[in-house]
Amino acid sequence: MKQPAGKSASKPSRGSAVEAQFADYPAPVKAKLLALRKLIFDTAKATQGVGALEEALKWGQPSYLTPESKSGSTIRIDQVKASPGQYAIYFHCQTDLVETFRELYPKLSYSGNRAILLNAANKMPEAELRHCVALALTYHLRKRK
């Protein structure tokens, strides 16, 4: 849901279609996706120029947008349906974001030019993901310069 103007993106919305989507995930993937969701909101709050996030469903996936500042590219998260126990963070495929992430973090697993793939059985690479999320949330700010 859209945050009121002037409010920071301190907490994800509750009781929404996004919540219903999270309820449908298998337990191990759900726990990781909820942690990733928190990481996205925390990173947005800590990143200058991002402003409030809007949380919505896009293509049936929890998605995070920056409608107030228009600073970033949409981020989506979801389980990888073809690979049980895997989940992903998706970025707009027509940006150079994933290419940049590959250069910065070659040990992460990727899907083409659109996603970072993660395994629910493994520890989430939080520092790397925070940096990638911050780059996505400020993508348009950097492109404007």
Q: What percent of the chain has pLDDT over 90?
A: 83
Model-level pTM?
Answer: 0.88
- Bin 112: left if φ > 0, else alpha if -120 < ψ < 50, else beta: left
pLDDT of residue 1: 40
Sign of CA dihedral 60, 61, 67, 70: negative
Domain extent at residue 76 = 26-144
- pLDDT confidence of 13, banded at 50, 70, 90? low
pLDDT of residue 12: 55
Is the predicted pLDDT of residue 114 greater than 60, yes or no?
A: yes
How far apart are the C-alpha atoms of 14 and 1, rounded to whole Å? Answer: 9
In a domain, 100, yes or no: yes
pLDDT of residue 7: 39
In a domain, 57, yes or no: yes
In a domain, 5, yes or no: no
Domain total for the chain? 1
pLDDT of residue 6: 38
CATH code of the domain covering residue 39 = 3.90.1150
In a domain, 4, yes or no: no
2 secondary structure, DSSP code: B
Q: How many CB atoms lie within 10 A of CB 106?
A: 8
Distances (CA, A) of 115 to 4, 6, 56, 79, 112: 30, 31, 18, 12, 7
Is the predicted pLDDT of residue 14 greater than 90, yes or no?
A: no
